[in-house]
Structure 1
Amino acid sequence: MRVLSSLLGRPKTLLLASALAGALTLTGCGGSDDEAEGQAQDGGPVSVSVGVIPILDVAPIYLGIEQGFFEKQGLELKMETAQGGAAIVPGVVSGQYQFGFSNTTSLLIAASQNLPLKVVTNGVNSTGEKGKDFGGIVVPQDSPIQTAADLAGKRVAVNTLKNINTTTTNKVVRDAGGDPSQISYTELPFPEIPAAVAGGDVDAGQVVEPFLTIAKQQGMREIASNFAQTDPNLNVGLYFTSQQYAGENAEVVQKFTSAMQESLKYANDNPEEAREVLSTYTEIEPAVQEAVTLPSWPEQIDTASVELLSQLALQDELLDAEPDLTKLLP
């Protein structure tokens, strides 16, 4: 299945699900007709809609479709790309999508606002290797900034304010002996960040692949790997549904979870196939596609790293209170 959105041409579609935080005020669960609830009418496969963004993180689900893992479970996936992650959480809550993908911090923010969500399976993790992860902080080659501590007092671009990329950047700055409260964050779409760094509009930028590779190919230096240095097993993203859908369609949720976990394992075991599938749902340039660093796709959720992200969000005042993870996680 080809998604028409371009990785390089549609900036808002490229925001990690961290862009969700600004749209988490929708309440209630909609979608009661059989088609919306994914009920097969003729004994055929159950059709479910999945809200995603066309980024590297979701390669396993497309690979799983190609490999027939969802078909084997009796599921037919309708992949729906959002104009940015902010639409996915309320889309799942309202019943527009039966499942969705989001970064972990956005789900924590949603849970703290009592939105009725339920994580069903893992999504994407850090590789755990500094300098070899799918997210990092870049500066111009001749910048005086050498370590994360040097970001204090500087202008740093992120794709979304007050979310996973700011909290993890704050963490690595703090750990390096700097004061993250002195950072001036600027919100820019990922595709615009390398140019802003190169042009001096900001002093540094936090980017994810493929923009991390693009920035390096333009001669920029990576001075910190904010995901890997926050936690080597950092759970960056998760797949989820609404509590209502999970309660009414437990068998469908279990089948989706099983197929998704098989897809995650296959992607981890076959990285070149995961790399190749990118061209089926993005328009990433071949040279960049070959060079990008793929994330890690473990089958299981790293609960400890989710708890750490919750604590960091609380420390940075993204949350008023730590959410009940037993209600959010499987």
Structure 2
Amino acid sequence: MKKLQNFWQPFRRHFKQTAQLGLFGLITVTLLACSKNPETQSNAVHELRYQSLTGVVSLPELAEDLGYLGDLKLKYVGSVQGGPQDLQALSTGDVDVATAFDGAIIKLAAAGIKIKAVVASYGSDDKSWVGYYVQDNSPIRSARDLIGKKVAVNTLGAHYEFVLKDYLARQGLSDDEIKQVEFVVLPPANTEQALRAGQIDAAALVSIFQDKALERGGLRKLVSDTDLYGSFTAGSYVFTEKFIQQHPEVVKQYVTGVAKAIEWTKQTPRDEIVARFKSIIEKRKRNESDALMQYWHSYGVVSQGGLLSAAQYQRWIDLFVKQGQFKPNQINADSLFTNQFNPYANENHAATNQQN
């Protein structure tokens, strides 16, 4: 119980900042214990509840539109600003599937919640990455210059914060100095404006938000996540272990659809992908703009079909151990994920056997 309290503590202030997140901010560990139980649901699941970012198209949404989910339907229950919020909704039974940065998934598993990653959701590559920017005329030129400064991220305890803290540590900042860097939570759609207005000193920008900002000029990159790690898969779609045990065919349908959608984006001309995205946004009628879609380049998933590996989780486990948050061997990377539902796992296995 204490581990769960510690896991959610960094996010509670952020959850209170909006009406939607306010409900989550009031949820206690007791409610986690009393969360919706998949055992009370019908075994005939044909609909999955999920959350998504506003103004973008997630891989499951693309898969559904392409017909890759078969008779499995997605039920949108609201917008989400970051992975930790999505994981909390999964823990309390408000959604059936969630996506988050792998580091956040590891922390939730370490807190005792029985979850399992099943397919990759996003990453960083040479087409799409997370960059940390300042204004051109900013005096900030190095990691040390960020001490005492405000840096905007989309949510606490996730990708943007983890990567920057690793960068600061690699550049020789002590733990005390890193704690003096203030992380400010802002919606991605508002981050660029806040940076240009001088309300923050630096900002994490990614993908379509980054491209749109750079097109306007006046910003300078400090570092990117690919500068530190190269191309890598950074996040995963997650179910509770109980849901997987009770509805394996549903999970297989979902993973197969997402995996095929990932490969579709790698093989399809960009113009066709963007047109599809705009069509999806128009059809779902959520009162949102499709303007950001013109800046889309990649989901950043490196592996074929979103296959998961121990290495992508071990990177963050090692960082937690280095920071003193975990003890050595406290978390086994292999226990965090499964590829058993991914059709590309069978293809890779067959190819390996042929080579041998």
The normalised TM-score by structure 2 is 0.72
- Write the mapping of 1:129-278 to structure 2, written as runs, cut at 5 A: 129=126, 132-148=127-143, 150-176=145-171, 181=178, 182-270=180-268, 271-278=270-277
Q: Match for residue 307 of structure 1?
A: 314
Contact 1:227 1:234 in 2 (8 A): no
TM-aligned CA distance change 1:109 to 1:189, over 3 Å: same
Q: Displacement of 1:38 after TM fit? A: 5.7
Q: Which runs of 4+ in 1 moved over 6 A?
A: 20-24
Q: d(CA) in 2 for partners of 1:276 and 1:39?
A: 34
Root-mean-square deviation (CA, aligned residues, Å) is 3.4
Q: Match for residue 51 of structure 2?
A: 51
Contact 1:135 1:207 in 2 (8 A): yes
User: 1:195-223: CA deviations, max 9, x gaps?
Assistant: 22212222211122332123223323242
Alignment coverage as a number of residue pairs: 303
User: 1:137-179: CA deviations, max 9, x gaps?
Assistant: 1111212333555434533222223332111012233334555
Largest Rg, 1 or 2: 2
How much identity, in percent, do the aligned residues show?
Answer: 18
Range with greater deviation from structure 2 (253-262 or 147-156)? 147-156
User: 1:85-126: CA deviations, max 9, x gaps?
Assistant: 454223323433222222222211211111111111111111
Secondary structure of the corresponding residue to residue 296 of structure 1: coil
Is the counterpart of residue 323 in structure 1 residue 331 in structure 2? yes
Q: Displacement of 1:329 after TM fit? A: 1.0
Secondary structure of the corresponding residue to residue 210 of structure 1: helix
Contact 1:39 1:47 in 2 (8 A): no
Q: d(CA) in 2 for partners of 1:251 and 1:289?
A: 33
Does 1 or 2 have the higher relative contact order (CA < 8 Å, sep 6+)?
1
- Write the mapping of 1:26-65 to structure 2, written as runs, cut at 5 A: 26-27=32-33, 30-32=36-38, 36-37=41-42, 39=44, 46-54=46-54, 56=56, 59-65=58-64
Q: Displacement of 1:66 after TM fit? A: 1.6
Which amino acid in 1 is paired with 2:295?
A
TM-aligned CA distance change 1:190 to 1:318, over 3 Å: farther
The normalised TM-score by structure 1 is 0.77
User: 1:220-267: CA deviations, max 9, x gaps?
Assistant: 324245321232233222111111111111222222212221111112
Contact 1:152 1:173 in 2 (8 A): no
Q: Displacement of 1:23 after TM fit? A: 7.2
Q: d(CA) in 1 for partners of 2:267 and 2:96?
A: 28
TM-aligned CA distance change 1:126 to 1:285, over 3 Å: same
Which amino acid in 2 is paired with 1:240?
V
- Write the mapping of 1:10-89 to structure 2, written as runs, cut at 5 A: 25=29, 26-27=32-33, 30-32=36-38, 36-37=41-42, 39=44, 46-54=46-54, 56=56, 59-71=58-70, 74-85=71-82, 86-89=84-87
Unmatched segments (≥5 aa) in structure 2 = 1-16, 339-356
